[in-house]
Homo-oligomer: A and B are copies of this chain.
């Protein structure tokens, strides 16, 4: 199993969600992060003073997947999150040793399949 973490533009999120869903990925966890990289800052002003807001709002998507889902997941994200302009973000792939579903105690691959309520 892998833990795939993607940093994407907030505006691309709806497309990414759709692509992931189409790729069969159902369980995801999102959080708001602040990204700093090659992307230029945004100029704001207040009472006559200009300042550069150099952070960018990004969304982090964390997805635990079994091996066979690694490639489809990465593909889905790359295709749906890409705009071609600097700041599109990164995908990180990390080893994941165990997954436990709290509700049932199921482990690993069984723990990864969401059950619709």
A residues whose Cβ falls under 8 Å from a Cβ of B: 2-3, 6-8, 17, 26-40, 55, 58, 60, 62, 64, 74, 77-78, 81-103, 105, 111, 114-117
Nearest 8 A-B pairs (CB), nearest first?
A: A38-B114, A88-B103, A86-B117, A93-B98, A88-B102, A91-B100, A27-B37, A30-B34
Residues of B within 8 A of A28 (CB): 35-37
Q: Which residues of B contact A35 (CB under 8 A)?
A: 28-30
A102 contact set on B, CB distance < 8 A: 6, 8, 77-78, 81-82, 88-91
The answer, among B6, B27, B82, B86, for a CB contact under 8 Å with A90, is: B27
Chain B contacts for A37, CB-based, 8 A:
26-28, 114
5 A/B residue pairs, CB under 8 Å, sorted by A: A27-B36, A30-B35, A38-B115, A88-B101, A90-B99
A97 with B31: CB separation less than 8 A: no
A86 and B117 CA atoms in complex are apart in Å by: 6
Which residues of chain B come closer than 8 Å to A36, judged between CB atoms? Answer: 17, 26-30
